[in-house]
Structure 1
Amino acid sequence: LSRTAMPPKAAAPVELPAPLPTDVPAGGLDVPIAAPTLNSEEAVEAFPGEFQLAPDERNRWLVLHFALPRTIMTADMAEGRSTEAELNDVLSGMAWGSIDADTSEWVLESEDPSLEPPHPSLISYTEYVARAYPSDDAMEEEARAENVSMAAQKRVAFTSPGEPGAKFRPMFDQMVKNLSHTNKALMRAYDIKKPLLNEEALPEDPARSDAQNIMRFGRHQVLPSFWQLLVQLVKKGRRFSLVLHSFQEDQLAVVQRELQLFCQGQHPAYDGKNKTQKPPPMSGDKGSRDLRLLDGCIGRVDRTAGRLEFAGRPAGDAPKTARPGEVAFVAP
């Protein structure tokens, strides 16, 4: 039998990646990330597992979503809870205890706050309060509303003297310290004595400057880690977009003003004055991406129509997909 050798199958065409632009803007977020040299002693991963990713995977576009309360801010203006109330509320959900058989009262058992119970038999103070003041839909509306109010009052006073979580007061104080300004030059410039935790006690004064109103509480309203995240992403050349979620327009306005000033290098705590550090430009200057939250980037969800509307954009300037690097807000 004679055998005829068959020609090898043609290899499937391989799509080559599009070449990177040669005229990327200086300092912009489109600048490609240089692949780290793995055998270099100076090589440091920007995040765990970075060196295990292919170069294109390391440079993927990041879309970062943040809910304003409890993520990058402490106060919840939609629910009317101050920073003091929110810090207590958070700790009440991370404190674990048991129920006294004689008094039916909750007794703290855990030494430190934690997301998970140190023992399966323990329940958090938040869960205990929810059991003590139930608010299910089967209840009459008046009784349900009263229980919701009572449960909230218990949680927001959790670490106060005489309350079940008084032992956690040092943790509360540490959280306040982490929010406070410690730069003495900055404190002198804005006459900061001690941090104020109840936002309603000192409303914004239209006669004062933006910087004075931002600093009036003597502490950060937006968590410093959020600003540091932006700085690190820009310095590393990461391509990203931000999506901020809020149920309350006044709360969004607080972040909008601070974000605009931060991107312009004019935020009172990050402007290079009073021994503060100034961030890289994020306002479109020097070829940078404009990350300011402009009015045209604020969208609202129309639940009836099931669509996201950007009322602040001129007609014909509302793309179906977000622009690269654009900061957007979604009101769910």
Structure 2
Amino acid sequence: MMTREVIRDVAAGISREISYYEQNGWSIDFTKGELPTGMSFSRASGGSVFDAAGSLAVRAANEPRLDFDPVTYQSRGLLIEEQRTNHLRNSTAPVSQTVTLAAGNYTLWVAGTGSCAVAAGTAVGSGFGMAVEGAAVTFSVTTAGTVVFDVSESLSCFQCENGVFATSLIITTTAAATRSAELCSVPLESWFNPLEGTLMVECIAGTTVGNRMMAMLGSNNNNAITLGGYPSNNSFSVRVDNTVLANQAFTPVVAAGVLCRMAGAYAVGASQSAVNGVVSGITANASLPPFTTLRIGCRMSDQMFNGWIRRIVYVPNRMNAAQLIDLTKV
């Protein structure tokens, strides 16, 4: 019997209790190192993470990345990211080098007191410049060719990856390396009520670019209840047979690096949601999708969250507006 959940805002040092009215339920707190029974997790490659001592570590293929802040040593939760390739060699011992890049968008980021300038060699493109710690450079290659990376002073690591935002470090040696996309899910068991419920996700986005799934409750992408982050909003939706029956959007989107608590409460005929203590109106959805699985930080095979899932709470009844506000306050 789950009577209450203590949700801790580590950054602010605040602890508060939320009562779940003696309901049976389910919760997982990744910031405490918990992994739910029956959880399925896949990543076809290794992946880097900061451990509890703030040291860079590598997790093997298919091993979840429970990440820590390297400065404060506080747990950040389960890191879920899309596939990326680091095109720079010897990424933890940066030196100047020339690499060949295909047409596309790339982001260069560095760590350390030095810098890395990126410029076209035989490639044609735009947006080239100099990256320093905390200020990445995003550039475009329109005609494939060589690109020159010039390192100055001291860097502890660097990365040039395909995409328009930075992700976690991909460790390379003598060649480029790829970190595969991560998929995470939990089967629905006796704790789940198919007729109504409330799902809350606490997370921190690494970016607001693209469509990013916090959690998806359903059987497939076309039959699901979703909590997601999008370029301009955070959104709760109910989709049945690829028809959206309810969609509640909150603007502006919660910024990258900021704690977000989002919850959706649903039943046949009435769905409602809240983000960081702000509640939506009620949408009268006519039905609910079939439920088989809770997907964490992704859809079936795409829309990875590209950030940290800290905790998830499920309650087997539809909470009202006041309860949703209380549940999601930060």
Q: Give the TM-score normalised by structure 2.
A: 0.25
| Structure (1 or 2) with the greater helix fraction | 1
Output the TM-score relative to the length of structure 1: 0.25
Query: Whose Rg is larger?
Result: 1
